[in-house]
C-alpha cells in the first residue's frame, strides 16, 4: 500500500538483519498466543455444542475452563495478538520495499478481523459467567420482584450472546488467521511478486492453505499443553467441581495432545512440499528435521503420561514444544530469507547509494571531481588552447588569472561579457567545487604548455 511506501526508511544490510530477528520474535508471540486463543475457542465451542445436546454439566464446566484460558486479560490479547500483526506488517514493509507484493492488505484485514473476533470472544466469555450469575439468582431465596422484568431482559440478552457470539467469534478468528497465513507466506514464492495476481489466486494458494492447517494443528497442541500444565502440574492450585470433571478434562487433553502431535509431522512435510524450490536451503531442511525430532519427543512423553496415568512430564513437554515452536518460526524465516536474498541485496545497494547522497548533501564527504572530464564535457566545444573557436583561445585568457584562481572560479560560476569580439559565455550551471576543479585543470594545463 502507498502509505507504507511513504513511511519506509532506507535500511542498511545490518538493520535488515535486525528486522528479520524482530520478525522471528513477532511471529513467535503471535502464533503462541493466537494459537492458544484459537484452540481454546474451538474446544469451548465444541463443548458448548455437546452441552446443548446432552445437558451434561461436565461439558458446561469445561466450556468455562477453556474459554478462560486465553481471555484472562484484554490487554494481553491486544499486546500478543493485534500488536504482533501490525509489527509484522511494518517489518515486511521495510524488507519488501519496492517488491510489488500486496502483503499489507492481508495483514491489515487480519488485524481488523482479529479485533472484531476478540469482541465476540470476550462477549461469549462474559455471557457464560453471566448465565451462572442468573442461575444463582434463580436459586436464591431473595425476593427480587421489583427487578424481575429487568433480570429477564438481561437474561434473554445474555442467552442470545451465549448462542451467537461464540460461533461468530470463532468464524471471524479463523478468517483472521487465514489472512495472516496468506500474508506471511506471500514473499516465499517469487511468483507472488506480480501486482496483477488476483485476490482469488492468493486465497486458494496451496502454500497458504497448508500453513493455515499447520496453524490450527499447532493451536490444538498449545491449548492442550497449557490446560494440562495449568490444571495438573504438581504445584497447581486450581480446583475442580468433581473428580469426574477432573478425570474427563485430563483424559480429553491428553488424547487431544497425542492426536494432533502425531499429525503435526505429516502437515510439516506437506508444508515443505508446498514451498517453491527457491526457498530451500540446508538451514531450512536442518530446521525441519530438528522440529520433527522435537515433536517426536513430545509424542513419546505424552504416550508415557497416558500409559502411566501420571502427568509428571507436562513441564518437560511445555519446554520442548516452546523450543520446537521457536525452531518452526525460525525455519519459516529462513525460507523467507532464501527466497528474497536477491531483493535484500538490491535494497542494501539502494541504501548505500542513499547514504552516499545524504552525506554528500550534508557536506560530510567530498567527491573526487575530475576537472578534465568537466572541461571535455562542457567547455571544449567553444574553447581550444591555442585556437579561436566560439570563444577566445585559452593561451590568451589564462595568463590574466595566474595567481588569481578565485577570480577564475568566480568567472566560471557567473560569466560576464569582457571582450566585444566574442559572444557572452553562457552559465554552465556548475557547482563551486566543479568550477574549482575546472580552474585547476586550466591553470595546470596552461603551465605545462
Residue carrying the nine cell digits 524450490? 277
Taking residues 433-441, what's their average pLDDT? 81
- Mean pLDDT rounded to a whole number for the chain: 85
Number of H helices, E strands in the chain: 17, 0
User: Of 374, 371, 377, whose CA–CA distance to 445 is shortest?
Assistant: 371
Which sequence spans correspond to the domains of the chain?
A: 2-353, 371-448
More confidently predicted of 7 and 438: 438
CATH fold of 371-448, please? Cytochrome Bc1 Complex; Chain D, domain 2 (1.10.760)
Mean pLDDT of the 129-140 span:
73
Q: How many whole angstroms separate alpha carbon 335 and alpha carbon 322?
A: 20
pTM: 0.77
The pLDDT score that the predictor gives to residue 104 is 83
Percentage of the chain beyond pLDDT 90 is 41
Helix (H, G, I), strand (E, B) or coil at 324: helix
Q: What is the pLDDT of residue 145?
A: 58
pLDDT at residue 261 in the model: 96
Q: What is the mean pLDDT of residues 241-262?
A: 93
| CA gap 222, 358 in Å, rounded | 49
Residue with cell 466469555: 125
Best CA proximity match to 430, nearest among 400, 408, 402, 398: 408
Give CA 296 to chain center in angstroms: 29
For residue 408, name the pLDDT band (cuts at 50, 70, 90).
Answer: confident
Cα of first residue to Cα of last residue in the chain, in angstroms, is: 62
- Decide: residue 167, CB within 10 A, 0-12 exposed, 13-18 middle, 19+ buried: middle
Lowest mean pLDDT among 257-271, 292-306, 336-350: 336-350
Give the mean model confidence (pLDDT) for residues 168-180.
96
Q: What is the pLDDT of residue 148?
A: 67
Task: Give the model's pLDDT for residue 399.
Answer: 80
Which one, of 426, 236, 268, 391, lies nearest residue 332 by Cα? 268
DSSP class of 55: -
**Cα distances (Å, whole numbers) of residue 406 to 399, 412, 425, 432, 437:** 14, 10, 18, 11, 12
- Mean pLDDT is lowest, of 148-157, 175-184, 228-237, 292-301, for 148-157
pLDDT score recorded for residue 449: 61
pLDDT at 58 over 70: yes
CA-to-CA distance for 199 and 204, rounded, in angstroms?
9
Which among 298, 305, 303 is positioned nearest to 321, based on CA atoms?
298
Q: What is the pLDDT of residue 448?
A: 65
Q: How confident is the model over 421-434, as a mean pLDDT? A: 79
- 409: confidence class by pLDDT, cuts 50, 70, 90: confident
Residue 244 reports pLDDT greater than 60 = yes
Is the pLDDT reported for residue 5 higher than 80?
A: no
Rounded to whole angstroms, the Cα distance separating 30 from 248 reads: 30
Given a contact cutoff of 8 angstroms between Cβ atoms, the answer to whether 284 and 337 are in contact is no
pLDDT tens for each residue of 198-231:
778 778 888 899 999 999 999 999 999 999 999 9
Closest CA to 331 of 281, 297, 287: 287
If one counts every other C-beta atom within 10 angstroms of the C-beta of residue 64, the result is 16
Q: Is the pLDDT of residue 323 over 70?
A: yes
Amino acid at each position: 500500500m502507498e502509505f507504507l511506501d511513504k513511511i519506509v526508511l532506507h535500511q542498511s544490510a545490518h538493520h535488515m538483519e535486525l528486522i528479520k530477528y524482530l520478525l522471528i520474535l513477532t511471529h513467535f508471540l503471535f502464533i503462541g498466543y493466537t494459537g492458544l486463543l484459537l484452540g481454546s475457542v474451538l474446544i469451548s465451542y465444541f463443548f458448548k455444542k455437546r452441552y446443548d445436546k446432552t445437558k451434561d454439566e461436565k461439558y458446561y464446566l469445561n466450556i468455562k475452563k477453556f474459554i478462560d484460558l486465553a481471555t484472562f486479560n484484554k490487554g494481553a490479547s491486544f499486546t500478543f495478538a493485534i500488536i504482533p500483526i501490525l509489527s509484522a506488517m511494518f517489518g515486511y514493509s521495510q524488507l519488501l520495499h519496492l517488491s510489488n507484493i500486496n502483503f499489507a492488505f492481508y495483514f491489515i484485514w487480519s488485524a481488523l478481523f482479529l479485533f472484531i473476533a476478540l469482541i465476540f470472544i470476550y462477549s461469549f466469555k462474559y455471557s457464560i459467567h453471566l448465565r451462572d450469575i442468573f442461575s444463582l439468582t434463580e436459586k436464591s431465596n431473595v425476593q427480587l420482584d421489583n427487578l424481575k422484568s429487568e433480570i429477564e431482559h438481561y437474561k434473554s440478552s445474555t442467552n442470545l450472546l451465549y448462542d451467537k457470539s461464540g460461533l461468530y467469534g470463532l468464524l471471524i478468528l479463523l478468517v483472521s488467521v487465514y489472512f495472516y497465513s496468506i500474508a506471511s507466506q506471500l514473499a516465499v514464492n517469487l511468483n507472488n511478486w506480480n501486482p496483477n495476481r488476483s485476490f482469488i489466486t492468493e486465497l486458494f494458494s496451496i502454500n497458504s492453505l497448508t500453513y493455515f492447517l499447520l496453524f490450527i494443528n499447532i493451536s490444538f497442541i498449545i491449548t492442550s499443553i497449557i490446560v494440562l500444565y495449568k490444571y495438573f502440574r504438581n504445584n497447581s492450585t486450581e480446583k475442580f467441581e468433581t473428580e469426574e470433571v477432573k478425570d474427563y478434562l485430563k483424559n480429553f487433553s491428553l488424547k487431544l495432545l497425542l492426536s494432533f502431535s502425531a499429525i503435526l509431522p505429516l502437515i510439516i512435510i506437506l508444508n515443505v512440499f508446498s514451498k517453491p524450490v527457491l526457498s530451500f536451503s540446508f538451514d531450512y531442511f536442518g530446521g525441519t528435521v530438528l522440529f520433527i525430532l522435537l515433536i517426536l519427543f513430545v509424542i513419546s512423553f505424552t504416550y508415557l503420561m497416558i500409559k502411566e496415568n501420571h502427568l509428571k512430564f507436562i513441564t518437560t513437554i511445555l519446554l520442548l514444544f516452546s523450543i520446537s515452536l521457536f525452531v518452526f518460526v525460525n525455519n519459516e524465516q529462513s525460507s523467507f530469507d532464501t527466497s528474497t536474498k536477491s531483493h535484500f541485496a538490491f535494497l542494501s545497494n539502494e541504501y548505500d547509494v542513499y547514504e552516499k547522497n545524504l552525506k554528500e548533501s550534508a557536506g560530510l564527504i567530498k567527491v573526487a571531481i575530475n576537472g578534465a572530464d568537466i572541461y571535455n564535457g562542457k567547455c571544449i566545444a567553444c574553447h581550444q588552447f591555442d585556437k579561436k573557436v566560439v570563444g577566445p583561445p585559452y593561451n590568451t585568457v589564462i595568463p590574466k588569472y595566474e595567481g588569481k584562481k578565485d577570480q577564475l572560479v568566480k568567472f566560471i560560476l557567473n560569466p560576464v561579457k569582457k571582450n566585444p569580439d566574442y559572444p557572452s559565455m553562457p552559465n554552465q550551471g556548475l557547482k563551486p567545487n566543479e568550477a574549482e576543479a575546472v580552474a585547476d585543470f586550466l591553470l595546470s594545463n596552461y603551465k605545462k604548455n
